[in-house]
């Protein structure tokens, strides 16, 4: 969710997760805090329900510190 998604896509994403969350495993990576999901989905109730399913019997691994990717990237401005 780099950019907010429209309501129809948010509902489709929720429906997909809702139908599969008890039958399969997911790996979700994000740089958004759970509170930011409501803004990105433009619906607090939908975001809460979606996160409820994604966080059901899950293991949250929170990484902190410098980004290896950002630290070791070459910019287009380097000569």
Q: pLDDT tens digit string along 2-36?
A: 788 999 999 999 999 999 999 999 898 888 888 89
The answer to whether position 77 is within a domain reads no
- Asked whether residue 51 is domain-assigned, the answer is yes
- pLDDT at site 15: 96
Inter-CA distances, 2 with 19, 46, 59, 62, Å: 24, 18, 23, 19
Give the model's pLDDT for residue 71: 74
* Integer Cα distance of 41 and 75 in angstroms: 31
**Range of the structural domain that residue 53 is part of:** 7-71
- Among residues 17, 2, 27, which one has the least CA distance to residue 48? 17
Please tell me whether the overall predicted TM-score, pTM, comes out greater than 0.85 for this model. no
Structural domain includes residue 76: no
Supply the pLDDT for residue 8: 94
Q: Does residue 49 fall inside a structural domain?
A: yes
Q: Is residue 28 part of a domain?
A: yes
Rounded to 5 degrees, what are φ and ψ at 44? -65, -40
> Per the domain annotation, does 2 fall within a domain?
no
The total number of structural domains in the chain stands at 1
């Amino acid at each position: 969710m780099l950019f907010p998604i429209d309501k129809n896509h948010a509902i489709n994403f929720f429906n997909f997760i809702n139908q599969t969350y008890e039958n399969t495993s997911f790996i979700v990576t994000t740089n958004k805090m759970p509170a930011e999901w409501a803004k990105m989905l433009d619906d607090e109730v939908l975001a809460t329900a979606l996160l409820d399913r994604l966080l059901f019997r899950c293991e949250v691994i929170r990484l902190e510190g410098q980004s290896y990717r950002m630290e070791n990237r070459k910019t287009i401005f380097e000569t």
